[in-house]
Amino acid sequence: MRVQFGSCYVELALGDITRQSVDAIVNAANSQLAGGGGVDGAIHAAAGPTLMQETIERYPDGCPTGQAVATSAGRLNVKHVFHAVGPVWKGGLKGESELLRSAILASLQLAKDHHCKNIAFPAISTGVYGYPIDLAADTSLLAVRDFIFEHHTPELVRFVLFSEGAYGAFSQRLEQLIV
Ligand code: APR
């Protein structure tokens, strides 16, 4: 599914983010940038050990929740990995929505800073961190739409969803955003 917002596109795909050919992919990292399972584990495994070496060297203090940092991409077929730290879901009243929005916006700002024409996101926070997929879709897509309307970049934002359920949640919400 692909939707146009101004001069930019938001696209949904079902698949594995490590197989994307885009300028940048976003990792769903933890604030220690210590690696883990899920999409974080898959990205580090596909990129190889240089990704963790660079992360430790450049960001020894990690990255706060709601922010993102950039590295190169090792063996991945992309130029950059942006390590975004989404919130752990604690019921919805602990600023989770603002923190998820902030993590997405920080990643998009890095894309702009690094002159990326296209970028792929996973559904940040919706795995180990327990964020309900429909609420994450809502917050994530609104953040992207708002950034695109303000900055007119990047040309393409792709959400790579790992299950039919996640794809369904994102596509339902994206349809509602078409004006
Ligand atoms: N490609 C795309 N999406 C993926 C992939 C993949 N290869 N692997 C998993 N996913 C999906 C999950 O199905 C989920 O919808 O990514 C989404 C985010 O799940 P997690 O990877 O568990 O990320 P998150 O919920 O943000 O938790 C982050 O998990 O792995 C640790 O180090 C990480 O501590 C951090 C925490």
Q: Where are the domains of the chain?
A: 2-178
Contact 81, 73 (CB under 8 A): yes
Is the pLDDT at 21 greater than 80? The verdict is yes
Q: Are 160 and 122 in contact (CB under 8 A)?
A: yes
* pLDDT of residue 86 exceeding 80: yes
Q: So what's the pLDDT on residue 146? A: 98
| Cis bond before residue 154 (omega within 30° of 0) | yes
What pLDDT is recorded for position 11?
98
Q: Which are the contacts of 161, defined by CB distance < 8 A and separation ≥ 6?
A: 12, 13, 14, 15, 122, 123, 167, 170
CA 126 to ligand 1 centroid distance, Å: 7
Task: Tell me how far apart the alpha carbons of residues 72 and 156 are, in angstroms, rounded to a whole number.
Answer: 20
Ligand 1 center–CA 4 separation, angstroms? 27
Q: Which protein residue's CA is at the shortest distance from atom 14 of ligand 1? A: 127
CATH architecture of residue range(s) 2-178: 3-Layer(aba) Sandwich (3.40)
Q: Ligand 1 in contact with 121 (CB < 6 A)? A: no
Q: What is the residue with the minimal CA distance to atom 12 of ligand 1?
A: 127
- Enter the tokens of residue 156: 């393409």
State the closest ligand 1 atom to the C-alpha of 162, by its place in the atom list counted from 1: 3
Q: According to the model, what pLDDT value does residue 24 have?
A: 98
Average pLDDT, the chain: 98
pLDDT above 80 (res 94): yes
Read off the pLDDT of residues 96-127 as tens digits, 9 standing for 90 and up: 999 999 999 999 999 999 999 999 999 999 99
Q: Answer whether 35's CB lies under 8 Å from 63's CB.
A: no
